[in-house]
Copies of this chain bind each other. A is one copy, B any other.
C-alpha cells in the first residue's frame, strides 16, 4: 500500500533577487528494501537551516500570497547577499536538516521492517515535509516513551556540543569558552561539560541569561555588556586555563577580545618576557553568524593564535563513521536529559510561511526557537 503524497516546504532564490517560499505537493516514493518512510512529526528551525531557508532575504520585506491551503511568501534579497546565492539560483530546494517521526512504511529487509511503527530521529535535509524516505541504517531509534518533539533535535545541537568537547581534546586544550551561551546548544554544552568534568566559560549578553545558565549548574558566566566584562573574562580564563573558544556570533570584536583575554591570562602565568607574546596557542572557532557584520581584531595577543571556521560535518568525517555512530547512540540515550531541547512555539508548515512568524524565527534570537510539526493543522 503506497504512502500518500505529502506537502514539502520549498525555498527558491530567483535570479532577480526574490526569495519565494511555498508548499509543494510531492509524491512519496515506495521504500526500497532497505528504506523506510518516516512521517515527520517534528523538525526544529536551527540557525543552520535559516541560510538555506531564507537565502539571505530581508525578513521585513516578506509578503504573503496564494491560498490558505497553498500559501506563498516572497521577500527581497539584498544585492550584496546575491553573490553567495549564485550556485542555487532558480532551483526549488527542500529545507530542514533534522527531525523525528514515526515509521509508517518499510521496505522488505529485516532491518527496515524492524522499524515499523517506531519513533526515529533522522538527519539529511528535506525534513520540513510530511514524509521523508530514509535508509533504515540512517534512522536513530529513539528510546521507548520518547516523543517526536523530544527527539527532533538529536543531531545538529547535540553533536555540535559533543564536537566542541572532542575538538578541545583532539587539539590539546583543557577548557572551553562559548559565546551566545544561553542558546539551546549552550545549555546542552553546560550540561555536557558538567557531566564530563570540563571547565566552561560561558559568554552571554543579558543578566537573565546569566541567571538561567547558573540555574543549570554553570560556574563561569561573563556578561559581554557588563563594564567589567574583560576583567571577568580574564579571571575566568585564569581559573579554567581555557585556550579554545567556540563563537556563534562571528561578526564584531568578541573573537579578538577573547584572544586578547586568553593572552593576558597566559602571560600572567608565564615565567619570563617573550617579545612575541605567550607561546601558548589560542584558538577561536567561529561556527555561526548571529552577527553578520565584519569580524575585527587588533592582534594584541602575540603570534600563537588562530581564528577559523568550524562545521559539524568535517568533524564527524574526521572521527570516522564508527565513532560518529557511538556519539549518536549516546545522544539518543540522553535525549531527555543532557541533550534535551526547549522550543518557544510549535508551528505548522503553513504557519512557517506566515510573515509574522518568519519575523520571529528569522531573528535567531536566543530563547526564540521554533519547532515545525509538518503533519499539524492540515486541511
A residues with CB within 8 A of B: 51-52, 83-84, 87-88, 91, 250-251, 256, 267, 270, 272-277, 279, 286-287, 289, 294-300, 302-311, 314
Task: Find the B residue at minimum CB distance from A272.
Answer: B87
Nearest neighbor of A297 in chain B, beta-carbon distance:
B295
- Please state if B311 and A308 are interface contacts (CB–CB under 8 Å): no
- Do A275 and B309 touch across chains, with their CB atoms under 8 A apart? no
Which residue of B has the minimal Cβ distance to A83? Answer: B300
A9: min CB distance to chain B, Å: 15
CB <8 Å contact, A306 and B306: yes
Q: Are B267 and A87 in contact (CB under 8 A)?
A: yes
With beta carbons under 8 angstroms apart, the residue of B87, B267, B299, B306 that contacts A295 is B299
A309 partner residues in chain B, CB cutoff 8 A: 299, 302-306
Whether A51 pairs with B275 at a CB distance below 8 angstroms is yes
Question: Which residues of B lie under 8 Å from residue A300 when comparing CB positions?
Answer: 83-84
CA distance A286 to B250 in the complex (A): 19
Chain B residue nearest to A91 in the complex (CB)? B273
Please measure, in the bound complex, the distance between the C-alpha atom of A58 and the C-alpha atom of B154, giving whole angstroms.
Answer: 56
CA distance A297 to B277 in the complex (A): 24
Q: Which residue of B lies closest to A279 (CB)?
A: B314
Most buried by B among A91, A273, A303: A303
Contacting A308 at CB < 8 Å: which of B88, B308, B314?
Answer: B308
Please name all residues of chain B whose beta carbon is closer than 8 Å to the beta carbon of A279 when the two chains form the complex.
Answer: 314
Chain B residues with CB under 8 Å of A273's CB are: 87-88, 91
Q: How far is the CA of A369 from the CA of B273 in the complex (A)?
A: 27
Docked CA distance A299–B291 (Å): 11
The smallest C-beta distance from A50 to any residue of chain B, in angstroms, reads: 10
Residues of B within 8 A of A311 (CB): 276, 303-304
Q: How far is the CA of A83 from the CA of B263 in the complex (A)?
A: 12
Q: Are A298 and B294 in contact (CB under 8 A)?
A: yes
Shortest C-beta distance, A91 to chain B (Å), equals 8
In the complex, what distance in Å separates the CA atom of A310 from the CA atom of B88? 37
Distance to closest chain B CB from A259 (angstroms)? 10
